[in-house]
Amino acid sequence: MSRSLPSNILVAVSSVLLAHACYSAHEHSLLPATAPSLDGTPTASSSLPLDITLETLISVCLLLVGIVSSGWELKPISLRKYAGLLESGSIIPGGVDAETAAGKGRGLFDGLEERPGFLDIRHQRKEFADWLKHVNATS
Amino acid sequence: MSVSSYLARFVGASTHPAPSESLLLSQLAPPILNLTISDTPEQWSLYESLLMSTLRTGDDTSARLVLQRLSDRFGNSNARIMALQGMYDEAMATNPAQLEEVLKNYNEVMKGDPTNVPIAKRRITLLYHLNKKPEAITALNTLIDLNPTDAESWAQLAQYYLELSMYSQAIYCLEEVLLILPNAYNIHARLGEINYIIADSGGAGAGKEGGGVLERLEASLRWYLRAVELCDGYLRGYYGVKLVTAALLQGKFSAAQRQIPEDKVNKLNSVATVHLNDIISGSEKGKKGFTGYDAAEVAAAKELLEADGPST
């Protein structure tokens, strides 16, 4: 997976922001214990201040955008694209790794033109025998 | 190596491989036969492919062993095994009398069970091989009547008609294939090829045929364009677009008769050139994502571009 630079920066910055928001929230939770309000009544400090909440939400959103835009290789979901990748041999169907297969592209509908059910085996045998004779004669 | 990695080798190969490739595949027979039989679907489809490879290269002892194991597992009355056995018998026959014997066998089976599709296909192939073409086509038509949604049969019938130059019948059959598999872009390209062949052979006739030629060329262009639309970077499709647009531009057709305006054809021609150039340079440099193209096809495309080069 190759990541583009802007999204890398975005991910880094928003991670720092998120960490900062977490740290702020933690610090804030310690505050009431050390500094009780003057009149002794519980103040609004039991709920998180708006800036920390906003910082958390914004940093999470930015982080998501950064991760999503960081250049995943998406699977082809349109037939045009998928068929093209098959033809050019970039992917091989059936979960086979492109490197282990011979590297030859196989179209999605090649079976319709090869028609294994109507395989003329005698013709192919003759073809092979002729080729073998030719190879032996030239070597 | 495991069953799946062997299978990947066979899956990557076509059923009409080049002889050198057949030899490589067939030489895998001893290690594959030495694997323990795991009785998985992968193992048996590997055996099936191996049987065809060994028969192709004449490694008859391996073929016999593979067939034996397959029939031990699935029984002799399984339709698919019967077809494989038939293929083995066809390959082993040394004289016409023995082939006739195999054919008689097929006829017997078909009499007992007319719905045995694999055997029906073997019988048709053998009939055609024995030069009984009308009989083969009749039998194939019967099979299609019985099983009209089998795209493979329709495509085969189209091929037989094409070999007999019965173009309109061939086109009809391929259109039937498209009704079953509307996304089959290679069949679109095939239809484009047939229309081009008709235009090409009609072009030799009198000038009166001119309108027909134009019509065929435009039909061909439309089929090719659809093929390219369905499959990105389809070498054969772009080759066709280039070929047909060049013919349309060179032919002296009047603008009134044209349904596709000339400037559009011109634009399509240059688009096809760009794509073909992309594929040729990518595949010659062995760039990632271009390695799967057939070397011969790339060379043909290059030749086409070079022949066209001076005129554009």
The pLDDT tens digits for B119-128 are: 999 999 999 9
A78 and A60 in one domain? Answer: no
Give the integer Cα–Cα distance in Å for B244 and B51: 41
Residue A132 domain-assigned?
no
Residue A50 domain-assigned?
yes
Q: Indicate which of B6, B9, B10, B15 best probes the interface with A, i.e. most A CBs within 10 Å of its own CB.
A: B15
Name every chain A residue with its beta carbon within 8 A of the beta carbon of B93. 122
Q: Give the closest-approach CA distance of A117 to chain B in angstroms.
A: 6
Residue of A nearest to B140 (CA): A118
Which candidate from A84, A104, A117 shows the least CB-CB separation from B231?
Answer: A84
| Global pTM exceeds 0.95 | no
A79 and A62 in one domain? Answer: no
A26 and A61 in one domain? Answer: yes
**B76-110 pLDDT, tens digit each:** 999 999 999 999 999 999 899 999 999 999 999 99
Which candidate from A80, A81, A124 shows the least CB-CB separation from B56?
Answer: A124
Give the integer Cα–Cα distance in Å for B216 and B260: 12
Domain count, chain B: 1
pLDDT at B71 over 90: yes
- The packing angle between helices B79-92 and B41-57, to 10°, is 20
**B167-188 pLDDT, tens digit each:** 999 999 999 999 999 999 999 9
Give the integer Cα–Cα distance in Å for B173 and B159: 9
ipTM of the complex: 0.79
Whether residue B12 contacts residue A101, with contact meaning beta carbons closer than 8 Å, is answered with yes
Secondary structure of residue B157 in the 3-state scheme: helix
Residue B65 domain-assigned?
yes
Residue A115 domain-assigned?
no
Residue A91 domain-assigned?
yes
Residue A127 domain-assigned?
no
Residue B27 domain-assigned?
yes
Q: Give the closest-approach CA distance of A7 to chain B in angstroms.
A: 25
Range of the domain at B19: 1-74
Give the integer Cα–Cα distance in Å for B24 and B57: 10
Q: Which residue has the tokens 């949604």?
A: B149
How many residues does this entry show for chain B? 312
Whether residue B87 contacts residue A119, with contact meaning beta carbons closer than 8 Å, is answered with yes
Backbone angles phi, psi at B277, to 5 degrees: -60, -45
Name every chain A residue with its beta carbon within 8 A of the beta carbon of B118. 117
Taking an 8 Å cut-off on Cβ atoms, the answer to whether A120 and B118 are in contact is: no
Taking an 8 Å cut-off on Cβ atoms, the answer to whether A120 and B125 are in contact is: yes
Give the integer Cα–Cα distance in Å for A105 and B292: 4
Interface A–B counts its CB contacts (< 8 A) at 163
Nearest to A86 by CA among B274, B303, B30, A78: A78
pLDDT at B296 over 90: no
Nearest to B280 by CA among B258, B304, B256, B260: B304
pLDDT at position B310: 55
Q: Give the closest-approach CA distance of B72 to chain A in angstroms.
A: 22
A78 and A63 in one domain? Answer: no
Range of the domain at A37: 5-68
A81 and A55 in one domain? Answer: no
Q: Give the closest-approach CA distance of A11 to chain B in angstroms.
A: 29
pLDDT at B63 over 60: yes
- B244 token code pair: 């047909």
Residue A44 domain-assigned?
yes
Secondary structure of residue B270 in the 3-state scheme: helix
A10 and A59 in one domain? Answer: yes
A52 and A105 in one domain? Answer: no
Residue B311 domain-assigned?
no
Distances (CA, A) of B208 to B165, B257, B261: 21, 13, 21
A78 and A64 in one domain? Answer: no
Taking an 8 Å cut-off on Cβ atoms, the answer to whether A105 and B190 are in contact is: no
Residue B106 domain-assigned?
no
**A43-71 pLDDT, tens digit each:** 545 678 899 999 999 999 999 999 888 87
**B108-144 pLDDT, tens digit each:** 999 999 889 999 999 999 999 999 999 999 999 999 9
Q: Indicate which of B82, B185, B238, B297 best probes the interface with A, i.e. most A CBs within 10 Å of its own CB.
A: B185
Domain count, chain A: 2
Residues 6+ apart with CB under 8 A from B298: B235, B279, B280, B283, B284
Residue A78 domain-assigned?
yes
- Long-range contacts, B250-256 (Cβ 8 Å, 24+): B251/B213, B251/B214, B251/B217, B253/B210, B253/B214
A64 and A10 in one domain? Answer: yes
A49 and A21 in one domain? Answer: yes
Residue A125 domain-assigned?
no
Residue of B nearest to A134 (CA): B19
Alpha helices by DSSP H, listed for chain B, are 3-12, 19-26, 29-34, 41-57, 60-74, 79-92, 96-112, 117-129, 133-146, 151-163, 167-180, 185-202, 210-230, 235-250, 262-284, 295-308
Q: Give the closest-approach CA distance of A60 to chain B in angstroms.
A: 36
Give A106's pLDDT tier (boundaries 50, 70, 90): confident
